[in-house]
Amino acid sequence: MLRTYLPAIVFVGLGTLVGAIFTMMNSWFGPKRKRTPTTFKQDPYECGLPSEVQQGFRFGISFYLIAMLFILFDIEVVFLYPVAVQLRAFGTFALIETIVFIALLVVAFVYVWRRGALEWR
Amino acid sequence: MKHEAPNIDWAGLSPVIALLGGAIVVLLAGLLRSRLVRERAVPFLAIVAFGASLGLGIWQWGEDAQVFIAKGSQATLAFDELTLMVTFIVAVAGIATVLLSWRALAPREAAHGEFYALLLTSAAGMVAMAGAQNLVTLFLGLELLSVPLYVLCATEMRRERSLESGLKYLIIGSTGSAVFLYGLALIYGATGGTDLREIATGAAGEAGGDVLLLTGIGLTIVGLGFKASVAPFHQWTPDGYEGAPTPVTAFMAVATKAAAFGAMLRLLDVGLIDAQPDWAPLLAILATITIVVGNVGALGQSSLKRLLAWSSVAQAGYLLAGVVVASSLGVSATVFYLAVYTMMNLAAFAVIVARERETPWGDDIASVAGIGVSRPALAWPLTISMLSLAGLPATAGFIGKFYLIDAAVDGGYTWLGIVIVIGSMISLAYYLRVVAAMWMRAEVAAVSATAQPRLAGADPEAERPQWELYLVAIAAGAATIFFGVIPSPLFDLATAAGRSLGLL
Amino acid sequence: MTIHLSILLWLPAAAGLLGMLAPRALGRWIAVAGAALTFAYTVVLIADFDTGARGLQYVTDETWIAELGIHYKLGVDGLNLMLVGLTGLLFLASFVWLALTDWERPGQMVFFFGLAESSVLGALLAQDLALFVLFFDLMLVPFFFLTGIWGPPATRIAAITKLFIYTLVGSLLMLTAAIALGVLSAQQGGGDLTFVLSDLARVRLSEGTQQWIFLCFAAAFLVKMPAFPLHGWMPDGYRNMPLPVLAVFSGVLSKVAAYGFLRVVTPLLPDASVHFQELMMLLALASILYGSAMAFTTTDVRLVLGYSSVAQLGFIVLGIFSLQGDGAQGAIFQAVNHGLVVAPAFVVVAALALRAGGSEDVRDMGGLAFRAPVLAAMFLIVTLATLAMPGSANFVGEFLILFGAFNSKIAIAIVAFTGVALASVYALRLFIRSMHNRVGADAVSRELTLREGVVLVPLVAVVLFFAVYPQLALDRSERAATQSVRVAGALAHPEETRIAQEQPTP
């Protein structure tokens, strides 16, 4: 039983060790500055304009909804593309399959549309 | 390069197609403006879809359809008798659930189309899960089953408990799914196949020694245990059952259990059959814990839904006995008990729904007090259901328990048979409390100083006669008695399901 | 293959169901008619019984659940014949009693009562172990409702729940034991799974298996009786049952348990029966002594009868586990006798309570015989039968039991004799305290009313009949009773082959 896990244990051990060494090497060999960091250093981004977004600001729920729907319908293309490229190799079956797939997408689209999810509120 | 199209047995797949097609139709019909369509036609279409699935299942009985055969491997989905039995159970539970939720609050709040579409989708997931002969299909089925249920639990959106129930179920269910997936991955790693036959071949020589396989089996059982509410993975059950809309609770209690046990039977008794000496003792211990925890947990409950939730935990323990022995007798007994369990639980939940709408007591035990006098048509089904759950004779529950104990003794687990009856003894205390409340206590006055306020958004149609609730309650109660007296038809189905896995 | 036993079995339940659905005034009489018809059936059965024939008569044998080897097999032989008659009689009497009294929800009452009669008959007639277990467990369900709905409101639910769980603990263990008996016999014998008793008797399980199965069965039967250490449910249960219900519960249900020993345990588990013979006889002895002592000290009339039942059932167990033909025959006969005596005794209790201002405490009674000679006479007959006065049928029963016990364990039999003496002490005490002495404060002496008489007089007449003609029962039960303990008896007393020779192996 131990033998089965030996490689895994060695792997975990080595990983921890190497990780720890790399972390520490930074503080051993890196330049050591006594100065405290400036306020610029503590900004979320060191470059660009200061953030306009105040604490407690919320995005409208519509952003999320649209973004989610976008991803849903966008990702579907990923599935369509390879089928389109290799349609000849897969034959009629793939064609029917794709049509069913698109039909289902249309159902989803009709649903989203009729439920008013595409209207900006 | 030329690819071969997978061989799909459309006839065999038809029960699932009916469910999913029904889901799409129902979803779109729910978009129509007409109130009549939404509140009458949509539930009707859902019933038609469940009915079609049931009918197509009957048509496919005995065909042993293997759908999705890719080149050189076994079908990923088998529609053998076991799958079809689960299909029947799910379809019957689905029809009952639609009837129970027809005039309920939940579909009105969540929109009718979505509610019933989710129900149908979940049912399709259950069938797929029970028929899966491939780990990937199995997981797909599990998720297809679970995700709609998470949503359904929270469909009474204005009620905090419902949201809580949905969230709890989501979190715990996802944990279960994750554990399950991890287990599947380990099994794959140990045996080098995702197909159950390949796994069986791969596991043949390994049993007993391979830690990877054992860990995989353990995690898989844990994952399925979450779904089937096997202790100690049952903690979500009482809260989940109590908070969810009662029709959804009925569906969860009955159909999910059938699917989870169907999958458990197939996975363990086909894929991992050679490892049986390893997992059987573990499962037997789990069964014991489940029986004890479930029955003891139910003792102090005053909410009927919580009581049934704990009792469903205990019943899962009884069912495990049929899985442990890994024999065709065990499979038959489990399937038989699942069918019986469906009837008795549906009767109970139908009565609870009816009383929730008639009284201000919600699902508290006070809501059924004294109905032996005022509503005998509800009191009898609930009485039969309780006595059957307790395993008293002349009900199907007795025969079911008899069968399970028979399988356990036959498989050399006599002590598990004794654990089952000890569990039944404990269970009498709480089942009888419900029966006593119905027949031997006076009805609690509806208007009293301590009465709970009517739940927000309570059903305005409550005053109308709700014949469909009586229909479900009486039909399920009558079936419980019928199969307690003439069990042979159900036995034939269960035996066929038992034989379908190719066990001794 | 006849249908007679099926008709007999289902008639009461069907009549009860009709009685529930029929209009209020008519319903109870439909049920009474059903019970009367049932009783008539049993009388014909007893008269028509072929004493000379070996084995079962009027057999009905259908496969019920093929997969589990369970048969719907009913049959009558000497063991259950008289008990079936007793059931018919006592239920008829109680049905009449129920019909003459006013109850809430009478429809449901007659239904549950009819169901009770059917299930008791089922347990007695069943010749398949699974069927027996089914009916044995089912018996309890109607009594749960009968007590829980119509008992005294303050305590009924707690009492009946206690009774139910207590008695079902044993019964459920018996379920597992019965299944194990069937499955293990099939595995050992190599045949198909079957629960038919005559098939099971062909296979003799290993002694260790027999022993745990025996303990499970014994637990079920001893609780139901109840026997001494397992009688915890009895006081609460007896106090809370309506009297007509209690009459059959005490008169019939406990006998089914005793019958179970002879029907199932001694023929199927002979080695274990011998192994636990002394334990069972000692338990029986403890029941006799404890029951008698408690019956003598308690003041609640119901409990006097309850504890006397404990003592009487002790005698019956003693007879069974003497593993002698005489003892077993005496046990069966005594089971019938005790049922015949205890039911009228409860009618008398109801009459006494009515006259003592509703109290069922002997301290509130007394002097009730002054203006009620007929009632007093009836009660006296019942009392004398209870204490097994020579000339009564109970005397014959106890004599046979003690005869059997003497032949197997002399020491136990001698101690058991004191039980006979104690019986006269508590029985006479009850009679004297209630009928004679000073008239109680709220007590009124009134003669037997017509309603009471209708129930009481026929029962007492049957008691007298058996006192005169015990041969009716003894002739019919002798062969079967001897047969039931033959194997075990031969094991227990190998030197004494008398019984074995009398009954050559078929």
Which range (B184-193, B444-453, C200-209, C256-265) has the least confidence?
A: B444-453
Quick one: A28 and A71 in the same domain? no
Q: Is B326 helix (H, G, I), strand (E, B) or coil?
A: coil
Per-residue pLDDT reduced to its tens digit, B270-309: 888 888 888 899 899 999 999 999 999 999 899 999 999 9
Residues 6+ apart with CB under 8 A from B462: B357, B358
Residue at token pair 């036993």: C5
A87: containing domain? 61-114
Q: Are B84 and B60 in contact (CB under 8 A)?
A: yes
Q: How confident is the model at residue C389 (pLDDT cuts 50, 70, 90)?
A: confident
Q: What is the mean pLDDT of residues C281-298?
A: 92
Kindly state the percentage of chain B with pLDDT values over 70: 93
Kindly tell me if the per-residue pLDDT of B316 is higher than 90.
Answer: yes
DSSP bridge partners of C70: C65
* pLDDT of res. A34: 64
Q: What is the mean pLDDT of residues B346-373?
A: 90
Q: Is C406 helix (H, G, I), strand (E, B) or coil?
A: helix
Q: Which of A111, A112, A118 to mutate to test the interface with B (most CBs of B within 10 A)?
A: A111
* pLDDT of res. B337: 96
Kindly tell me if the per-residue pLDDT of C504 is higher than 50.
Answer: no
Q: Is B148 helix (H, G, I), strand (E, B) or coil?
A: helix
Kindly tell me if the per-residue pLDDT of B457 is higher than 80.
Answer: no
The secondary element (H helix, E strand) that includes residue C308 is: helix C301-320
Kindly tell me if the per-residue pLDDT of B1 is higher than 60.
Answer: no
Kindly state the percentage of chain B with pLDDT values over 90: 61
* pLDDT of res. C17: 93
Please tell me which of the candidates A4, A89, A107 has its beta carbon nearest to residue B211: A4
Asked if residue A104 is part of any domain, the answer here is yes
Q: Where are the beta strands (DSSP E) in B220-339?
A: none
* pLDDT of res. B208: 56
* pLDDT of res. B450: 44
pTM of the entire predicted model: 0.90
Per-residue pLDDT reduced to its tens digit, B464-502: 568 899 999 999 999 999 999 999 999 999 999 998 887
Nearest CA in chain A to B7: A93
- A107·B27 Cβ contact <8 A: yes
- B28·A93 Cβ contact <8 A: no
Separation of alpha carbons B32 and B35, rounded Å: 8
Kindly tell me if the per-residue pLDDT of B462 is higher than 60.
Answer: no
Please tell me which of the candidates C66, C168, C187 has its beta carbon nearest to residue B428: C168
* pLDDT of res. C475: 86
Q: What is the mean pLDDT of residues C284-299?
A: 91
Asked if residue A19 is part of any domain, the answer here is yes
* pLDDT of res. B452: 46
The secondary element (H helix, E strand) that includes residue C70 is: strand C70-76
B495 — contact with chain C (CB < 8 Å)?
yes
Q: What is the mean pLDDT of residues B156-177?
A: 90
Per-residue pLDDT reduced to its tens digit, C438-490: 777 777 778 888 888 889 999 999 999 999 898 888 888 888 888 888 888 88
Q: Which of B335, B439, B485 to mutate to test the interface with C (most CBs of C within 10 A)?
A: B439
Q: Which of A85, A107, A113 to mutate to test the interface with B (most CBs of B within 10 A)?
A: A107
Asked if residue A86 is part of any domain, the answer here is yes
Q: Is B134 helix (H, G, I), strand (E, B) or coil?
A: strand
Quick one: A27 and A69 in the same domain? no
Radius of gyration of chain C (CA): 22
CA C403 → CA A45, B108, C317, C324, C417, distances in Å?
Answer: 106, 79, 14, 9, 11
- C145·B439 Cβ contact <8 A: yes
Which range (B473-487, C121-135, C349-363) has the least confidence?
A: C349-363
Separation of alpha carbons C239 and B240, rounded Å: 43
Separation of alpha carbons C86 and C247, rounded Å: 12
Residues 6+ apart with CB under 8 A from B435: B383, B386, B387, C144
Nearest CA in chain B to A105: B24
- Between chain B and chain C, are at least 3 CB pairs below 8 A? yes
Kindly state the percentage of chain C with pLDDT values over 90: 46
Kindly tell me if the per-residue pLDDT of C502 is higher than 90.
Answer: no
Q: What is the mean pLDDT of residues B127-141?
A: 93
Reading the block at residue B486, the tokens are 């003439």
Average pLDDT across chain C, whole number: 88
Residues 6+ apart with CB under 8 A from A10: none
Q: Which residues of B touch A (CB under 8 A)?
A: 1-3, 5-6, 24, 27-28, 31, 209-212
For residue A74, which amino acid is it?
D
Kindly tell me if the per-residue pLDDT of C28 is higher than 90.
Answer: no
* pLDDT of res. C422: 87
Q: How confident is the model at residue C136 (pLDDT cuts 50, 70, 90)?
A: very high
Q: How confident is the model at residue C500 (pLDDT cuts 50, 70, 90)?
A: very low
Q: How confident is the model at residue A35 (pLDDT cuts 50, 70, 90)?
A: low
The secondary element (H helix, E strand) that includes residue B164 is: helix B160-191
Which range (A19-33, B415-429, C126-140, C301-315) has the least confidence?
A: A19-33
Asked if residue A83 is part of any domain, the answer here is yes
Kindly tell me if the per-residue pLDDT of B72 is higher than 70.
Answer: no
Residue at token pair 């006599």: B414
Using CB atoms, list chains with 3+ pairs below 8 Å to chain C.
B
User: Is the N-terminal amide bond of C344 cis, ω within 30° of 0?
Assistant: no
Residue of higher predicted confidence among A92 and A33: A92
Residue B399's closest CA among C138, C122, C60, C199?
A: C138
Chain B residue numbers with beta carbons less than 8 Å from the beta carbon of C233 are none
Q: Is C355 helix (H, G, I), strand (E, B) or coil?
A: helix
- Count of structural domains, chain A: 2
Q: What is the mean pLDDT of residues C115-135?
A: 94
Kindly tell me if the per-residue pLDDT of B98 is higher than 90.
Answer: yes
Residue at token pair 């030197």: C495
Per-residue pLDDT reduced to its tens digit, C59-114: 889 899 888 889 999 999 888 899 999 999 999 999 999 988 888 888 889 999 99
Per-residue pLDDT reduced to its tens digit, B176-231: 999 999 999 999 988 888 888 888 888 876 555 678 888 889 999 999 999 899 98
* pLDDT of res. A48: 66
Separation of alpha carbons B119 and B131, rounded Å: 19
